[in-house]
Amino acid sequence: MGPMTLTNMADERGRRPAGGSQPAAIALRRVHKNFGAVQAVKDIDLDISSGEIVAFLGPNGAGKTSTIDIILGLSQPTAGTAEVFGMAPRQAITRGLVSAVLQTGGLLKDFTVRETAEYTASLFVRPRPVDEALNRAGITGIADRRVGKCSGGEQQRLRFAMALLSDPELLILDEPTTGMDVEGRRGFWGSIRQDTARGRTVLFATHYLEEADAYADRIILLRHGQIVADGTSSEVKAMAAGRTVRATLADADPVALSAIPGADNVEVRGDTVLVHSTDSDAVARYLLTKTPARDLEINTRGLEDAFIALTSDDNDTSAGGSR
Amino acid sequence: MTTQSVPAPAALTREAPSLGGFNVTVLRLEIRRLLRNRRTVIFALIFPVVFFLAFGLNSAYANESAGPGSHGNVSAFVMISMALYGAVLATTSGGAMVSIERAAGWSRQLRLTPLSPVAYIVIKMLTAMVLSLASVVVVFAVGGLTGKPSMPM
């Protein structure tokens, strides 16, 4: 498989395998999690099929980590059920079906990199060779270094190597590149991308929007413990933001433009009109057939705008969550 | 990159380890790590020996009887006391390690592996007991080499 651009990858992965007889990689049913009076997760239903690359996107406190902890069996849901490959999360872990790179997973400073990996490997029934995992995580060169002397990025790669040892069917990454510099982040995602080419299911939480856009074929936006959007990155963008149609039109009539189905915001700046709409096709068709408009441009707002629109507090979420 | 390569159902018939993940590799790595910790080695292995050499060999009292009715001399009494001190210190520090690892988040990391909590505690206990055995052996070996302690049956 030759090198591919990110766009290519997203296109190829766009297809989602149907459930079939294979149990879903992750199945959450009406999951709630309360910490005292705080509802961290509110009624989440989620199915992730084998082979999907899914991003959990949301601001801090949206419930990403709480949901991941439930999927990994690190915490019990207050209500609802969580299944991984058709079994309880802990069972899936003891069989080496699931592994994770966590934000909070501690490492022992006085082990070397290789010892840490050997320790982890010895706990599984049929682990992959330690050297192979170190190699795939790109840390063969520092195998004999003490963990305490490794940089944050190197420690994160070690956690990634540990997660590969059981050759899991499902890999979960909770904000895996937090605190890495740009180069470290790129290298880390390069390793993960090479690895996921093998057909592993991946769920990662992030608040780096560009990461979700570039690496996931499905984005799930979380806000206040609820799923507010679920779709491909272009679907999520369109769901929140719609598109803006810009055209050159002399003597535009804002009232007539506002009457176009789907148009929710009309701006006239001299000879330029900007119509924001959830149905940009209808606006374009109207402008081109019913008015002398020219120089038509249609722009999608970025994922970042979608993210802010869908997750900010003062937003009416009725537009999202359809799916 | 292909969604066709979904794992064969055979991949889902994987097994969980027996004994909750307990194995000799982990034990070996834990002991090696413990011996690498300079503070542990100083307090559990070197201190008892130094104390024995300082207090157990003083010719003013070393050969005196350890007490009425006892068969051993003071040197033997000090040697056994120091071995016991080393052994107790080694096992207690082994217990403290569990809480340190918990605070560092290592326990949470281990929960992503098949290792069961019981197997983890057993590994920690065995590691601590191996160190305490080492402590006793070292003190007794040094005592034997000095030839001072005597405790005829």
Interface of B with A in 49-68 (CB under 8 A): none
Q: What is the pLDDT of residue B153?
A: 72
The mean pLDDT value for B26-31 works out to 94
Q: What is the pLDDT of residue A69?
A: 93
Interface of B with A in 13-52 (CB under 8 A): 14-17, 21, 23, 25-26, 29, 32-33, 36-37
Residue located via tokens 């995580």: A137
Between residues B133 and A321, the one the model is more confident about = B133
Residue type for position A259: A
Size of interface A-B (CB pairs under 8 A): 124
Angle, CA A38 vertex, CA A37 and CA A42 arms, to 5° = 115
- Cβ of A93 within 8 Å of Cβ of B115? The answer is no
Taken as a whole, chain A contains a residue count of 323
Residue located via tokens 């190699």: A135
Instruction: Assess if residue A179 is contained within a domain.
Output: yes
Between residues B3 and A167, the one the model is more confident about = A167
Instruction: Assess if residue A173 is contained within a domain.
Output: yes
Averaged pLDDT of chain A? 83
Residue of A nearest to B102 (CA): A106
Q: What is the pLDDT of residue B1?
A: 46
Based on its alpha-carbon atoms, the radius of gyration of chain A, rounded to whole angstroms, reads 23
Residue type for position A14: G
- Cβ of A108 within 8 Å of Cβ of B101? The answer is yes
- Cβ of A119 within 8 Å of Cβ of B25? The answer is yes
Between residues A138 and B7, the one the model is more confident about = A138
B104/A contact by beta carbon, under 8 A: yes
**Using CB atoms, which residue from A15, A51, A106 is nearest to B105?**
A106
A54, A202 Cβ separation under 8 angstroms: yes
Q: What is the pLDDT of residue A19?
A: 44
From A126, A36, A112, select the one nearest A78 (Cα to Cα).
A36
At A311-323, the pLDDT tens digits run 776 544 443 333 3
Q: What is the rounded CA–CA span in Å between residue A268 and residue A253?
A: 9
Query: Number of folded domains in chain A?
Result: 2
Q: What is the rounded CA–CA span in Å between residue B32 and residue A232?
A: 49
Instruction: Assess if residue A157 is contained within a domain.
Output: no
Q: What is the rounded CA–CA span in Å between residue A258 and residue A223?
A: 31
In sequence order, the 6+-apart residues with CB closer than 8 A to the CB of B35 are: B41, B131
Concatenated DSSP letters of chain B = --SS-PPPGGGG---PPGGGG--HHHHHHHHHHHHH-HHHHIIIIIHHHHHHHHHS--TTTTTSBSSTT-SSBHHHHHHHHHHHHHHHHHHHHHHHHHHHHHHHTHHHHHTTSS--HHHHHHHHHHHHHHHHHHHHHHHHHHHHHH-------
Q: What is the pLDDT of residue B115?
A: 94
Instruction: Assess if residue A122 is contained within a domain.
Output: no
pLDDT bin (cut points 50, 70, 90) of residue B31 is very high
Instruction: Assess if residue A143 is contained within a domain.
Output: no
Q: What is the rounded CA–CA span in Å between residue A165 and residue A135?
A: 11
Residue of B nearest to A84 (CA): B12
The pTM of this model reads: 0.76
Q: What is the pLDDT of residue B80?
A: 94
At B94-116, the pLDDT tens digits run 888 888 898 889 999 999 999 99
Chain A neighbors of B2, CB-CB under 8 A: 12, 199
- Evaluate if residue B9 carries a pLDDT over 80: no
Quote the distance between the C-alpha of residue A80 and its chain's center: 23
Instruction: Assess if residue A114 is contained within a domain.
Output: no
Residue type for position A323: R
Phi then psi dihedrals of residue A184, to 5 deg? -60, -40
Do A177 and A79 reside in the same domain of the chain? yes
* Structure tokens belonging to residue B81: 């006391």
Q: What is the pLDDT of residue A14?
A: 39
Q: Which range of residues forms the domain containing residue A195?
A: 23-97+168-237
Do A172 and A295 reside in the same domain of the chain? no
In sequence order, the 6+-apart residues with CB closer than 8 A to the CB of A216 are: A53, A54, A55, A204, A233
At A174-223, the pLDDT tens digits run 988 877 778 878 888 888 887 777 778 999 998 877 788 888 889 998 88
Do A78 and A200 reside in the same domain of the chain? yes
For residue A192, give the CATH number of its domain: 3.40.50.300
Residue extents of the structural domains in chain B: 26-146
Q: What is the rounded CA–CA span in Å between residue B91 and residue B96?
A: 9
* Structure tokens belonging to residue A210: 């560009």
| pLDDT beneath 50: ranges in chain A | 1-20, 315-323
- Evaluate if residue B10 carries a pLDDT over 80: no
Instruction: Assess if residue A280 is contained within a domain.
Output: yes
3-state secondary structure of A32: strand
Do A85 and A180 reside in the same domain of the chain? yes
Angle, CA A161 vertex, CA A156 and CA A162 arms, to 5° = 95
- Cβ of B14 within 8 Å of Cβ of A97? The answer is yes
From B52, B78, B50, B75, select the one nearest B64 (Cα to Cα).
B75
Mutate to test the interface with A, among B4, B5, B6 (most CBs of A within 10 A): B6
**Using CB atoms, which residue from A108, A125, A197 is nearest to B14?**
A125
